[in-house]
Amino acid sequence: MSVRWGIAGPGRIAATVAAEFAHVPDAELVAVGSRSLERAREFAGRFGIPQAHGSYAELFASDVDAIYLATPHGQHTDLALAAIEAGKAVLVEKSFTTSVADTEAVIRAGRERGVFVMEAMWTRFLPAIVRLRQMVADGELGEIRAVYGDLLAFREFEPADRLFNPALGGGAVLDLGVYVISFAQQFLGTPSLVHAVGGLYPNGVEGEAGILLGWDDGRYSTQAIGFTAPGPGRQVVAGTKGWVEVKPRFHRGEQLSVHLLGREPEELTLARTGVGYCHELIHVGECLAAGLTESPVMPLDDTLAVQQVMAEVLSQLGR
């Protein structure tokens, strides 16, 4: 089947994803919607999209099969619920929403309506991360005991920018923390302990955080996130038989450094196609062709678990 896609929200990330459709078989980007018809038309002209809609309601009422929801975090809930009500499959940009209650509402709506819904955690679909998960599943690393790393990305503080605007879901946790928490959660599951320290900008939005996640059997994950300093952006997955480093920057990683006990280290390169967003788009198409309403790679229970951890981190930081 060929999936007819529409994009809601013609911003920066939408432009990156739109270009990725050149690498996605059995998919067509046929529509874009915005609150501004002028912006929708400009975006459509830039990417050769046949339909431009001046409202999200018009987009959801059009003849698309799936919606890529690329608006700021704070708008995700209402738009995702509207798209689900219209019977459209929805790929929701991360962070999924800005609260646990909103995430639960979107998940409940998708399940009750029988509509496919997935968080756009593109890192899970990169060839290098797929290989790493297979190594773990095959027992090559033994029992996974720790995941540790960082995602530090220096940004000048601009209160009006989406990254720092609380009304738009700004802050390091929803923008960067979602990556590191989701990365750890896919290998260790949902933690029983969350501890966070960090600092806030003058407008009350967090700029940085150190996060410790713990499990009852002693497994742990330590993560650093922040806009206040640069960092490598790497992850290490450590097990009883060895460890693997996902080389910087891990969230778009292509290189694995494999260190297994009793064997020589091995360097693996697994290139992503295009920028890398096409891999999750291909996966959504495969899920729809198979009649699935949830992804086995990025299930909604994982999305909810990560949202709950982020909520606890934000609470401990004073948000």
Could you give the residue numbers annotated as active site?
94
Residue 184 phi, psi dihedral angles, 5° rounding = -65, -40
Q: Please, what is the Cα angle at 309 between 249 and 299, to 5 degrees?
A: 75
Place of tokens 């990156």: 16
Nearest Cα residue to 52 out of 12, 13, 7: 7
Residue 185 phi, psi dihedral angles, 5° rounding = -65, -35
Q: How far are the Cα atoms of 4, 51, 68, 187, 310 from residue 220, in angstroms, in the given order? A: 42, 48, 34, 11, 16
Nearest Cα residue to 13 out of 96, 79, 95, 70: 70
What is the amino acid identity at position 182? Answer: S
